[in-house]
Amino acid sequence: MKINTIAVIIIIGVVYLALEIANRARSKRKDLTFVIPHEIDGKPVRELTSALLRRFRIAKKATKIVIPDSVTSIGSGAFWDCKSLTSVEIPDSVTSV
Protein backbone atom coordinates (compact mmCIF):
# COMPACT_ATOMS: atom_id res chain seq x y z
CA MET A 1 0.00 0.00 0.00
CA LYS A 2 1.52 3.28 -1.11
CA ILE A 3 1.08 6.42 0.93
CA ASN A 4 0.49 9.50 -1.09
CA THR A 5 3.47 11.84 -0.53
CA ILE A 6 1.32 14.94 -0.90
CA ALA A 7 -1.13 13.68 1.74
CA VAL A 8 1.73 13.05 4.18
CA ILE A 9 3.13 16.54 3.59
CA ILE A 10 -0.32 18.06 4.16
CA ILE A 11 -0.80 16.11 7.41
CA ILE A 12 2.64 17.17 8.67
CA GLY A 13 1.84 20.77 7.78
CA VAL A 14 -1.49 20.68 9.61
CA VAL A 15 0.10 19.16 12.73
CA TYR A 16 2.90 21.76 12.65
CA LEU A 17 0.38 24.59 12.28
CA ALA A 18 -1.72 23.30 15.18
CA LEU A 19 1.35 23.08 17.42
CA GLU A 20 2.47 26.57 16.39
CA ILE A 21 -0.97 28.02 17.19
CA ALA A 22 -0.98 26.30 20.61
CA ASN A 23 2.52 27.61 21.42
CA ARG A 24 1.60 31.16 20.45
CA ALA A 25 -1.57 31.05 22.55
CA ARG A 26 0.40 29.74 25.51
CA SER A 27 3.06 32.45 25.16
CA LYS A 28 0.40 35.20 25.05
CA ARG A 29 -1.15 33.99 28.29
CA LYS A 30 -0.33 36.35 31.10
CA ASP A 31 0.63 35.05 34.50
CA LEU A 32 -2.07 36.17 36.90
CA THR A 33 -1.78 35.80 40.66
CA PHE A 34 -4.98 35.93 42.70
CA VAL A 35 -4.57 36.59 46.42
CA ILE A 36 -7.60 35.47 48.40
CA PRO A 37 -8.54 38.09 51.00
CA HIS A 38 -8.32 37.30 54.74
CA GLU A 39 -11.86 38.59 55.25
CA ILE A 40 -14.99 38.87 53.14
CA ASP A 41 -17.79 41.14 54.32
CA GLY A 42 -16.02 41.48 57.69
CA LYS A 43 -15.90 37.72 58.28
CA PRO A 44 -12.65 35.73 58.26
CA VAL A 45 -12.16 33.27 55.42
CA ARG A 46 -11.70 29.87 57.12
CA GLU A 47 -12.50 27.43 54.31
CA LEU A 48 -11.62 27.58 50.65
CA THR A 49 -14.42 26.19 48.46
CA SER A 50 -15.30 26.22 44.78
CA ALA A 51 -18.25 28.49 45.63
CA LEU A 52 -15.87 31.00 47.20
CA LEU A 53 -13.58 30.99 44.18
CA ARG A 54 -16.53 31.32 41.78
CA ARG A 55 -17.46 34.49 43.66
CA PHE A 56 -14.23 35.97 42.31
CA ARG A 57 -14.44 35.53 38.55
CA ILE A 58 -10.77 36.40 38.17
CA ALA A 59 -9.83 33.23 40.06
CA LYS A 60 -10.99 31.27 37.02
CA LYS A 61 -8.19 32.86 34.95
CA ALA A 62 -5.51 32.85 37.65
CA THR A 63 -2.28 30.97 37.07
CA LYS A 64 -1.40 31.21 40.77
CA ILE A 65 -3.59 31.42 43.87
CA VAL A 66 -2.31 32.59 47.25
CA ILE A 67 -4.30 31.36 50.23
CA PRO A 68 -4.32 33.52 53.40
CA ASP A 69 -3.28 32.30 56.87
CA SER A 70 -6.89 32.49 58.03
CA VAL A 71 -7.80 29.42 55.94
CA THR A 72 -7.67 26.09 57.78
CA SER A 73 -9.53 23.90 55.27
CA ILE A 74 -9.61 23.44 51.50
CA GLY A 75 -12.82 21.84 50.29
CA SER A 76 -13.15 19.07 47.76
CA GLY A 77 -13.10 20.44 44.23
CA ALA A 78 -12.14 23.93 45.35
CA PHE A 79 -10.06 24.48 42.22
CA TRP A 80 -12.23 22.56 39.75
CA ASP A 81 -12.99 25.64 37.60
CA CYS A 82 -9.46 27.10 37.70
CA LYS A 83 -8.38 25.91 34.25
CA SER A 84 -5.22 28.06 34.01
CA LEU A 85 -3.92 27.27 37.51
CA THR A 86 -0.29 26.16 37.68
CA SER A 87 0.52 26.82 41.34
CA VAL A 88 -1.13 27.28 44.73
CA GLU A 89 0.54 28.83 47.78
CA ILE A 90 -0.84 26.98 50.81
CA PRO A 91 -0.05 28.31 54.31
CA ASP A 92 0.81 26.10 57.31
CA SER A 93 -2.58 27.00 58.81
CA VAL A 94 -4.30 24.58 56.38
CA THR A 95 -4.85 21.31 58.26
CA SER A 96 -7.58 19.73 56.13
CA VAL A 97 -7.81 19.18 52.39
pLDDT in tens, 40-70: 889 999 999 888 888 887 777 888 999 999 9
d(CA 92, CA 10): 54
Give me the pLDDT at residue 93, please: 94
Rounded Cα gap, residues 59 and 80, in angstroms: 11
Q: What is the C-alpha separation between 34 and 46, in angstroms, rounded? A: 17
Pairing of strands 64-66, 39-40: unpaired
Cα 56 to Cα 41: distance, rounded to the nearest angstrom? 14
Per-residue pLDDT at 2 exceeds 70: no
Spell out the alpha helix ranges (H) of the chain: 5-28, 50-55
